[in-house]
Amino acid sequence: MLNDAEKKRYSRQIRLFGEDGQERLLRTSVFIAGAGGLGSVISLYMAAAGFGKIRICDCDTVELSNLNRQILHGSADVGRAKAKSAYESLTDINPEIEVEALLETISEENVDQLLQGCDIIMDAMDNFPVRYLLNRAALQRKIPLFHGAISGYQGQATTIIPGKTACLACIFPRAPPASVFPALGSTCGVIGSIQVTEAVKYVTGTGKLLENRLLFWDGLNGCLDEMACERNSACRECRDS
């Protein structure tokens, strides 16, 4: 049952999915992989929306070159752990939710522990090896993975539901070459917002999800496109699920 303060804080979105939908958000525990460009947008909007528990994980410190897009952090945070400034920003946005910020490198050895108790996974990474780890963990736990990635003016997003949709390895059988890619803050804003919207729809049971659809954003030309995806019966990750 929502208290009076919660009804007032979330009143404009309660108009969309009702108090029951808001209560579902408050009962949801989220794992956000990364506190960089995408992780900043995702975590801020999830905190504002009232996801009840946010666990955000990042191993890096804030650098000056991050600040064009990583809006969790400010100039005074340069040199500090991203996890620490993330915690402060998110608890300031919404002190009524539970925030856990971890200074950790996501690995094969700790991914299971990091995800303990989480209901959904938000992909805010910048490399595919860790994305594949998250994909595998989502399949094993049977919880959704909301994928997003950006490069310059372009970005992509999809929603992966274990046992129902193509998994990340179905869509990307091989990882793209590792590189330092250009990054525009507003592109992170577009893709991160799409990922949060997908998570809200999933939890509240509203709308049509990006299931078996890879959405592409082309900011340079101001257009969206999508590609249909399907499960690969020979997929190394989800063929047995």
Q: How far apart are CA 26 and CA 24, in angstroms?
A: 5
Residue 221 CB coordination number (10 Å): 9
> Is 18-228 assigned to CATH 3.40.50.720?
yes
Per the structure block, which two tokens stand in for 76?
Answer: 């005074």
**What's the pLDDT band for 175 if we cut at 50, 70, 90?**
confident
Sign of CA dihedral 217, 182, 195, 116: positive
CA dihedral of 58, 60, 65, 71, whole degrees rounded to 10: 30
**What's the pLDDT band for 63 if we cut at 50, 70, 90?**
very high
Average pLDDT over residues 40-47: 98
What are the domain boundaries of the chain?
A: 18-228
Average pLDDT over residues 37-49: 98
Average pLDDT over residues 179-192: 94
User: pTM for the full model?
Assistant: 0.97
Q: How far apart are CA 86 and CA 100, in angstroms?
A: 9
Give the C-alpha distances (Å, rounded to integers) separating 5 from 2, 11, 88, 105.
8, 10, 21, 37
SS (H, E, C) 97-151: CEEEEECCCCCCCCHHHHCCCCCEEEECCCCHHHHHHHHHHHHHHCCCEEEEEEE
- Would you state the pLDDT for residue 179? 79
Confirm if 83 and 100 have CB atoms less than 8 A apart: no
Express each pLDDT in 103-150 by its tens digit: 999 999 999 999 999 999 999 999 999 999 999 999 999 999 999 999
